[in-house]
Structure 1
Amino acid sequence: MPVSRRHFLQVGSLGASLTLSDYLRFAHAENQSDNGRSAVLVFLGGGPSHQDTFDMKPQAPAEYRGLFSPIPTSVPGVGICEHLPKLARRANQYAIVRGITHSLADHGLGTRYLMTGNLPTPVVDYPMYGSVVSKEFPATPDLPSFVSIERPVEGPGYLGAEYGPLSTGEKPRYGQPFRVRGITLDGTMTLGRYRKRRQLVEDIDTAFAEYEELDESVRSLDRFSDQAYQIISSTKARSAFDLTLEKEQEVDRFGRHEFGQSMLLTTRLIEAGVRFVTVLLEGWDTHQDNFNQLGRELLPNFDQSLTAMLDRLKEQGRLASTSVLVTGEFGRTPKVNRNAGRDHWARAMCSLMAGGSVQAGQVIGATDDKAEGPIGDGFTPDDLAASFFQNIGIDPRTEYNANVGRPITLVRDGSTIPGLLS
């Protein structure tokens, strides 16, 4: 339950002398229900082509099947794209969900839908996955609970800015010192530079009267200032963000490209105790030259880096406690257009899930012979979200109080996909 000011005063009556930061830590400890889980969202921004990746149609006419061929995987009877050979060999580590369907073939609306599991509405601003996890399972005080590499995909919605991600501001690049929200992690940043900003937090401590009534922007200001300070003052946090600590062979395993370095950072953050990490792999909006873009760079990089993360989590015994979701905002048109590309198509798409209680090594759902739509009812983004939350350890029927005058159900219309979780 929330820690009220009344409870705060009771603590004070016991002789405790708490600053605001002490109080926040106390409140988090009271609210924390730690199930030992963490999660990773790999978002393929732009809308990946389902029929050129994990839902191929080799028997369809040429203008539908495209230029790629399927290859067999480690799961009998299941084939995926020839440009995903490493993932093909590890098909027993993840589940493919085909036949996901919705009607929002717009990048902004589609992204909002897939990142929250709720159909966008002007009435309710739903929170993205990581914000919910940040609220339910906060990390230790010296680590952010929720990190979004480069930028946030969506916002914290009705949960408030205090549950938004710590966005790094940029992606890591091999051979260059990495920066987190303007903080250089190459040893040149001194604590003195941040002490003036830290003083602002202390001023808020001194002026504390009714924390639970503070404006949201003040609470988020305190939180982000505090996290910035913690990153440069905490050995644990600095180490988590410092890719120079990795051996060269591990860098090579993930890939020296931007996505590889982002996935390596994601893995390090999970290992350190961050609860939720979002990493972006963009460039999938292939209205033209679809096959060259996919075959030359996007698919090989994705194949290498996702495989490396799954392998490392498994080697360290963390895959069982880390829920992984790989998705875009929609699929692409079944028929190749005149520019050798595929356009937006929300009626059919596919996603991957791994880790936690996922029953890996299977395909759930199906699309018709041209990948135009699901066979049967298919699954909605709401169903995918309900499954993802359930796998993390959060009941998708959880209710939160919001500013709309009534409790809001976390995933209002979705149900856990049958057979996906054990």
Structure 2
Amino acid sequence: MAVHRTCDGMQRRDFLRVGVLGTSAVTLANYLQWSQAAEATGAKAKSAIFINLAGGPTHLDTFDMKPNSPSEYRGEFNPIQTNIPGIEISEHLPKLAQSMDKFVILRGITHSLAAHELGSQYVNTGNRPIPSLEFPGYGAVISKELGGPEELPANVAIPNTAQKTGYLGVRYAALSTGSTPKAGQPYSVRGVSLGGGLTVTEVERRQNLLSDLDQTFRAVEKDSQLLDGLDRFSEQAHTIITSRRARDAFNTALESPSFAEQFGDTPFGQSCLLASRLVESGVRFVTIQNGGWDTHNDGWTRLKNNLLPPLDAGLSALLNGLHQKGLLESTAVFVTGEFGRTPKINTQRVGRDHYARAMFMLMAGGGVKPGRVIGASDEKGLGPVGDGHSPDDVAASFYHNLGIDPKKEYQTNIGRPVMIVRDGNVIPELFA
């Protein structure tokens, strides 16, 4: 089990221990107990893939390079031309450079929360954290608004997620895969595939038992948020576990070798392959957790050897693969970390430190008009040119791309009205 620990002690595991209950991600049994499909609404994109670059990726060494800045800011990498004239990105992202016509770079995104936990909460919800309320992540909102097929979960995390369900309740939590696929090998998620000698007859016996338990729980407490959705658990659990559609949706080995090859054999690349397969099967929202971006020390070595090549291969394959399957126009893709990194190099540790005043985000798919850069940071990457855009604005745009009104109000369990995105506004240039 790979573990990424950021400098403030946050652990970012490549998977969660199966059976552990949390509000960020759950196993199939817990997920199904609390899941309840919502009515679908009209949308520009019908599904979404959110890629969380946990740890805070540097903007100046990736998608917002400053080759003409002083040496103490510039870094060790050189820019290369993309397939869109006038747009340059890092030399260690050559495949994404040739896929620039599939996505948009947002530069000069700005906020002030340069701590991992707070920054992560911010970019995973589109709302600046406050002590009095826990906001729901994108997956919970999209699950509530768009629902999903009966045989499949609406919200899947590969291998886990930093997103929580907040005031919407755990019925909208992600189903965590708990692991990532391995190239060329059949892949299954515990509880989705019938393994360990489990038979359909045994599943049906358990289904009847759970039906009895459902009635008992409902008699004890009718209004509990934890018990909401139990009336559908037995039927949906049986449907998913015995559904070939569900098992096949998670099995990346069923992809053609020619299609799968472009994703490579890294955990991130294989996660991107699984995400593309899931949205093709009808899953509404997929999170890919990709950690290790907290590059205080030996930053450029880690970037060029460990971090950028898998991102380059996996993300370019995801965008191109969705396009090849005719899914890019119906799938909103959003890539972000929790902040950027200091423009001025930390020479003692040969890296960059936390920095929230300027960062990049990437968007693609749906109604997003690709092949462009929106926004800018100043000549040293210290902050945005002009007012810039906040994570709230990007979140509002993400929801807008899915046909969800970011200003729609929900009621918390104490009757408090809260907008999906409290302070953000849609960025019109993304769709112009």
TM-score normalised to the size of structure 2? 0.86
Q: Where does residue 415 of structure 1 map in the other structure?
A: 425
**Aligned to 1:72, which of 57, 66, 81?**
81
Which structure shows the bigger proportion of residues in helix conformation?
1
**Mapping of 1:308-347 within 5 angstroms?**
308-337=317-346, 338-347=348-357
**SS where residue 288 of structure 2 aligns?**
strand
**Residues 348, 220 of structure 1: alpha-carbon distance in 2 compared, 3 angstrom cutoff:** farther
- Whether contact under 8 Å (1:125, 1:157) holds in the other structure is yes
**SS where residue 180 of structure 1 aligns?**
coil
Q: Where does residue 238 of structure 1 map in the other structure?
A: 247
* 1:135 Cα deviation from its structure 2 partner: 0.4
- Between structure 1 and structure 2, the one with the greater Rg is 1
* 1:114 Cα deviation from its structure 2 partner: 0.2
**Mapping of 1:373-388 within 5 angstroms?**
373-388=383-398
**Residues 201, 33 of structure 1: alpha-carbon distance in 2 compared, 3 angstrom cutoff:** farther
Gaps of at least 5 residues in structure 1 are 1-23
Is structure 2 residue 308 aligned with structure 1 residue 285? no
Deviations 1:102-139 (A, max 9, x none): 11111111010001010101112110001111001111
* 1:177 Cα deviation from its structure 2 partner: 5.0
* 1:316 Cα deviation from its structure 2 partner: 1.7
Q: Where does residue 3 of structure 1 map in the other structure?
A: none
* 1:250 Cα deviation from its structure 2 partner: 2.8
Is structure 2 residue 173 aligned with structure 1 residue 164? yes
- Whether contact under 8 Å (1:92, 1:361) holds in the other structure is yes
* 1:62 Cα deviation from its structure 2 partner: 1.7
In the aligned structure 1, how far is the partner of 2:229 from the partner of 2:75? Answer: 48
**Residues 185, 339 of structure 1: alpha-carbon distance in 2 compared, 3 angstrom cutoff:** farther
**Residues 300, 195 of structure 1: alpha-carbon distance in 2 compared, 3 angstrom cutoff:** same
| RMSD, aligned α-carbons | 2.4
**Aligned to 2:308, which of 299, 316, 325?**
299
Partner amino acid, structure 2, of 1:353? M
Partner amino acid, structure 2, of 1:361? G
- Whether contact under 8 Å (1:177, 1:185) holds in the other structure is no
Q: Where does residue 397 of structure 1 map in the other structure?
A: 407
Deviations 1:206-250 (A, max 9, x none): 458689944222236677776654443111010000112123333
Partner amino acid, structure 1, of 2:86? G
Q: Where does residue 106 of structure 2 map in the other structure?
A: 97
Q: Where does residue 9 of structure 1 map in the other structure?
A: none
- Whether contact under 8 Å (2:188, 2:247) holds in the other structure is no
Could you tell which deviates more after superposition, 315-324 or 265-274? Answer: 315-324
**Residues 279, 404 of structure 1: alpha-carbon distance in 2 compared, 3 angstrom cutoff:** same
* 1:317 Cα deviation from its structure 2 partner: 1.4
In the aligned structure 1, how far is the partner of 2:54 from the partner of 2:314? Answer: 16
* 1:60 Cα deviation from its structure 2 partner: 0.9
**Residues 68, 211 of structure 1: alpha-carbon distance in 2 compared, 3 angstrom cutoff:** farther
Partner amino acid, structure 1, of 2:78? S
**Mapping of 1:17-96 within 5 angstroms?**
28=37, 31-35=39-43, 37-96=46-105
* 1:370 Cα deviation from its structure 2 partner: 1.1
* 1:181 Cα deviation from its structure 2 partner: 4.2
- Whether contact under 8 Å (1:178, 1:186) holds in the other structure is no
Q: Where does residue 364 of structure 2 map in the other structure?
A: 354
In the aligned structure 1, how far is the partner of 2:201 from the partner of 2:183? Answer: 28
**Residues 357, 126 of structure 1: alpha-carbon distance in 2 compared, 3 angstrom cutoff:** same
Deviations 1:140-177 (A, max 9, x none): 11011110111121211111100111111222233555
In the aligned structure 2, how far is the partner of 1:34 from the partner of 1:341? Answer: 45
* 1:252 Cα deviation from its structure 2 partner: 2.1
**Aligned to 2:276, which of 252, 267, 270?**
267
Is structure 2 residue 160 aligned with structure 1 residue 151? yes
Deviations 1:371-414 (A, max 9, x none): 11111111111001001000111011011011343211111100
In the aligned structure 1, how far is the partner of 2:257 from the partner of 2:194? Answer: 19
Partner amino acid, structure 2, of 1:33? T
Q: Where does residue 12 of structure 1 map in the other structure?
A: none
| Percent identity between the two aligned chains | 51
- Whether contact under 8 Å (1:178, 1:184) holds in the other structure is no
**Residues 192, 340 of structure 1: alpha-carbon distance in 2 compared, 3 angstrom cutoff:** farther
- Whether contact under 8 Å (1:142, 1:230) holds in the other structure is yes
Partner amino acid, structure 1, of 2:84? V
Deviations 1:239-267 (A, max 9, x none): 00011212333332101111111111000
Partner amino acid, structure 1, of 2:404? I
